[in-house]
């Protein structure tokens, strides 16, 4: 395989709330330097550069985020930023990207990649992507699974079936089933079974294969994409996109396409050092704590006295002193301060819901 | 007793560090509205007003704090503010105040009162002070003891002896011994004995009696006071005070006078609702927590989610969110943020020492 027709599509429209108060509507997680110098989006782009020239990296995002993304990744050509008129779920995003890429290059394959994940082992990631493209050549819808390291209730799971026959450089399995985020007990069971991976949201396929699948599984989306394709690149592009898009069914690619498709394969990846950076506690998986287990990141001045396994984030020029503090997350972010037991950090979203409900817009 | 010759002297020169980062060199504890609207100094003054006219309330303080005190308590006449040229311990303060009061009114008795304590039961306080003045008439050096409610290691203790015979309105005992701050084990023992009170630093005596005792126990201080008295009210007052003062021995009234005096009495006061507000954890004794045990004071916006027995102080217009937090003190104070396990709040002074050692003057 010569990898001359492989494209990367970064999905970057989300505005997660689980890293509140740092991630906000106006400054979503992927645009923040959460782990140091680079933003998660920049890391995602840089991680792809060895594998794809910038003209074959596309970004699908929303209007509010596009400008900042272009600032952060100026190498990617202007026309490779695709703007969703409004969020209509990942199925629509995948469809739009597949249509655009296929129109440019009818032989194209593409990898769909989230913009806000962390991957420690970039070499392995490259190896896996290449392997996945080879499997995709054989008309599979391929997904990268993450070998679980704990019974997480924060991820969906993929159950593998039989190995896929073929001369591939990495083990590949058919997919037996996709599973929603489980409860604690079920997560324990899935982990013990050994044949389940976390659903990472990374997909690899040929554009013709995914377009066929869209027409089959989501004919409404399929014909909408045909309509947009007919005017894409003309002066009617924006008008048609803006007319058609709001009427699309809001659907995920997992539920709308993957679960019903027949030729689906998974590469279960262990040792990738992957994290979705989905809560403050996940920073303990991603960054190296000091010998007391503490992490101070984006924090200018931190004085830890009898403090262990505690994350200090932010604070600007302020002095942050902790005394007798264990297993906490402390986030000091301009107009808001979060102090949270680490194992409760998923509950940040309950606070954000509360703020939304009570229209505390300045803090959202 | 007609109470026409009774004076109150508020000692207000200290600059405690145990309520850092709110109390600083420039804004010591007594000048802060720690418990709500009034500062501790204002509460101290107001608590005395029913018992003493303002012209019989004196304040001994240092130059840096005098102006703010005059702002906070404008009823007290200008000439009742006595300025220590430099801190030389409470024995010197007591001596200066006794000399000045006695010079104004040779028949005067005086109560020495700290400026930064909390007393819930003000009526009982008034009753005790009156009783103490009556005992002091009989030439006793009287101290108010606080009946311990826990084996505190933060206070000195007073061991009572036999009851003092006399027609007093409250039980009075001779003092058998003064004890330094004990360790935990000793504190437990003292509490079990039942004959020990906390040393509150509140003293009541006749000015002639204390002056005699000073001349006897601390002759150096005695003759210095004679020298100052000779020029007090003349244009040489400042010159002599500034010359004599720096050479005084730095000594507490407890160690320099009370421990060696013979005619010492204690009124052990239970139910006064007293606190020296000596650490952040003491605010739990002083303020009423909500039904989850939380206190938010001087805090504009606090959102407590699964949070218990936690103090939130400050934050200005910031939103402070706590999730899964128990038994913590959180103090958000402009340029510094303190997060401390409540039972470790005495260790704030170790942090302040560290900052001093490393000359972090902006945070002191």
Predicted confidence band of residue B316 (pLDDT cuts 50, 70, 90)? confident
A251 touches chain B (CB under 8 A): no
Length of chain A: 364
Q: What is the mean pLDDT of residues A107-117?
A: 97
Distance from CA of A290 to the nearest CA of B (A): 19
Q: Is the pLDDT of residue B16 over 80?
A: no
pLDDT tens digits, one per residue of B25-36: 888 999 998 888
Contacts 24+ apart (CB under 8 A), A51-57: A51/A3, A51/A6, A51/A8, A51/A126, A51/A129, A51/A130, A52/A6, A52/A7, A52/A8, A54/A80, A55/A80, A56/A6, A56/A7, A56/A8, A57/A7, A57/A8, A57/A9, A57/A10
Residue-averaged pLDDT of chain A: 94
- Residue B103, classified by CB atoms within 10 Å of its CB into exposed (0-12), middle (13-18) or buried (19+), is middle
Radius of gyration of chain A (CA): 21
Predicted confidence band of residue B2 (pLDDT cuts 50, 70, 90)? confident
B256 touches chain A (CB under 8 A): no
Q: What local confidence, expressed as pLDDT, does residue A263 receive?
A: 96
Pick from A318, A321, A347 the residue to mutate for testing the B interface (most B CBs within 10 Å).
Answer: A321
Residues of chain A above pLDDT 70, percent: 100
Q: What local confidence, expressed as pLDDT, does residue A150 receive?
A: 93
Predicted confidence band of residue B217 (pLDDT cuts 50, 70, 90)? very high
Q: What local confidence, expressed as pLDDT, does residue B309 receive?
A: 98
CA distance B9 to B204: 10
> Which two three-digit tokens encode residue A92?
């629509």
Distance from CA of B339 to the nearest CA of A (A): 5
CB nearest B363 (choices: A305, A319, A354): A319
B339 touches chain A (CB under 8 A): yes
A353 touches chain B (CB under 8 A): no
CB atoms within 10 A of CB B210: 27
ipTM above 0.90, yes or no: no
Residue written as tokens 């005190």?
B69
CA distance A154 to A147: 14
CB nearest A315 (choices: B337, B338, B343): B337
**Is residue A48 within 8 Å of residue A77, measured between CB atoms?**
no
Q: What is the pTM of this model?
A: 0.88
According to DSSP, residue A102 is labeled H
Helix (H, G, I), strand (E, B) or coil at B359: coil
Q: What local confidence, expressed as pLDDT, does residue A36 receive?
A: 81
Distance from CA of A26 to the nearest CA of B (A): 18
Chain A residues in contact with B330 (beta carbon < 8 A):
337, 339
Q: Is the pLDDT of residue A187 over 90?
A: yes
Q: Please name the residues in contact with B235: beta carbons below 8 A apart, sequence gap of 6 or more.
A: none
Q: What H or E segment, with its residue span, contains residue A205?
A: strand A196-206
Distance from CA of A27 to the nearest CA of B (A): 18
Q: What local confidence, expressed as pLDDT, does residue B363 receive?
A: 92
User: In 3D, which of B356, B312, B354, B358 has the Cα closest to residue B337?
Assistant: B312
Q: Is the pLDDT of residue B336 over 80?
A: yes
Domain boundaries of chain B, sorted by first residue: 6-275, 280-363
Q: Is the pLDDT of residue A280 over 80?
A: yes
B21 touches chain A (CB under 8 A): yes
A94 touches chain B (CB under 8 A): no
Q: Is the pLDDT of residue A232 over 90?
A: yes
A339:B350 CB<8 A: no
CB nearest A337 (choices: B332, B341, B345): B332
Chain B residues in contact with A314 (beta carbon < 8 A):
none
Chain B residues in contact with A347 (beta carbon < 8 A):
305-306, 323-324
pLDDT tens digits, one per residue of B93-113: 999 999 999 999 999 999 999
Q: Is the pLDDT of residue B15 over 80?
A: no
Pick from B307, B324, B332, B363 the residue to mutate for testing the A interface (most A CBs within 10 Å).
Answer: B324
Q: What local confidence, expressed as pLDDT, does residue A56 receive?
A: 98
A303:B351 CB<8 A: yes
B347:A319 CB<8 A: no
A358 touches chain B (CB under 8 A): no
User: In 3D, which of A346, A286, A310, A282 has the Cα closest to residue A17?
Assistant: A346
pLDDT tens digits, one per residue of B148-207: 999 999 899 999 999 999 899 999 999 999 999 999 999 999 999 999 999 999 999 999
Task: Please state at what angle helix B207-217 crosses helix B89-104, rounded to 10 degrees.
Answer: 140
Q: Is the pLDDT of residue B9 over 90?
A: yes
Name the residue of chain B whose CA is nearest to A341's CA.
B324
DSSP for B62-114, please give it.
Answer: EHHHHHHHHHH-TTS-GGGEEEESS--HHHHHHHHHHHHHHHH-TT-EEEEEE
pLDDT tens digits, one per residue of A295-307: 998 877 999 999 9
CATH architecture of the domain B6-275 equals Alpha-Beta Complex (3.90)
Q: Please name the residues in contact with B339: beta carbons below 8 A apart, sequence gap of 6 or more.
A: A320, A321, A322, A323, A325, A328, A330, A339, B328, B329, B330
**Is residue A156 within 8 Å of residue A254, measured between CB atoms?**
yes
CA distance A302 to B268: 44
CA separation, residue A201 to residues A59, A85, A117 (Å): 15, 22, 10
CA distance B149 to B155: 12
Q: What local confidence, expressed as pLDDT, does residue B199 receive?
A: 96
Name the residue of chain B whose CA is nearest to A338's CA.
B321
Name the residue of chain A whose CA is nearest to B322's CA.
A339
A296 touches chain B (CB under 8 A): no
pLDDT tens digits, one per residue of A308-334: 999 999 888 899 999 999 999 999 998
Chain A residues in contact with B336 (beta carbon < 8 A):
318-321
Bridge partners (DSSP) listed for residue B297: B313
Q: What local confidence, expressed as pLDDT, does residue B194 receive?
A: 94
**Is residue B259 within 8 Å of residue B175, measured between CB atoms?**
no
DSSP for A235-295, please give it.
Answer: TTHHHHHHHHGGGS----HIIIIITT-SSEEEEEE-S--EE---SGGGHHHHS---TTS-E
Predicted confidence band of residue B268 (pLDDT cuts 50, 70, 90)? very high
């Amino acid at each position: 395989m010569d990898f001359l027709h492989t494209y990367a599509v970064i999905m970057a429209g989300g505005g997660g709330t689980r890293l509140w108060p740092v991630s906000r509507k106006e400054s979503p997680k992927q645009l923040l330097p959460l782990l140091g110098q680079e933003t998660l989006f920049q890391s995602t782009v840089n991680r792809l550069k060895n594998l794809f020239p910038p003209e074959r990296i596309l970004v699908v995002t929303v209007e509010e985020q596009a400008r900042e993304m272009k600032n952060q990744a100026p190498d990617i050509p202007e026309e490779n930023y695709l703007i969703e008129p409004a969020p209509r779920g990942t199925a629509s995003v995948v469809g739009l990207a597949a249509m655009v890429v296929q129109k440019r290059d009818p032989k194209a394959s593409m990898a769909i990649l989230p913009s806000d994940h962390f991957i420690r082992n970039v070499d392995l990631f490259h190896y896996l992507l290449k392997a996945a493209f080879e499997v995709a050549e054989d008309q599979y819808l391929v997904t990268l699974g993450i070998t679980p390291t704990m019974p997480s209730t924060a991820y969906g799971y993929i159950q593998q079936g039989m190995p896929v026959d073929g001369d591939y450089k990495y083990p590949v399995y058919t997919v037996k089933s996709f599973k929603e985020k489980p409860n604690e007990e079920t997560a324990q069971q899935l982990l013990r079974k050994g044949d389940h991976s976390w659903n990472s949201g990374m997909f690899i396929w040929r554009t013709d294969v995914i377009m066929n699948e869209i027409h089959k599984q989501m004919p409404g989306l399929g014909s909408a994409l045909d309509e947009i394709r007919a005017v894409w690149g003309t002066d009617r592009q924006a008008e048609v996109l803006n007319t058609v898009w709001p009427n699309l069914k809001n659907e995920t690619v997992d539920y709308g396409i993957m679960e019903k498709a027949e030729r689906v394969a998974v590469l279960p990846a262990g040792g990738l050092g992957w994290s979705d950076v989905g809560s403050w506690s996940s920073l303990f998986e991603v960054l190296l704590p000091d010998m007391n287990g503490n992490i101070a990141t984006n924090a200018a001045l931190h004085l830890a006295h009898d403090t262990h396994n505690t994350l200090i984030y932010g604070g600007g020029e302020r002095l942050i002193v902790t005394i007798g503090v264990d297993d906490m997350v402390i986030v000091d972010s301009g107009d808001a301060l979060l102090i949270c037991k680490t194992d409760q950090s998923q509950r940040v979203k309950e606070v954000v819901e509360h703020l939304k409900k009570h229209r505390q817009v300045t803090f959202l």
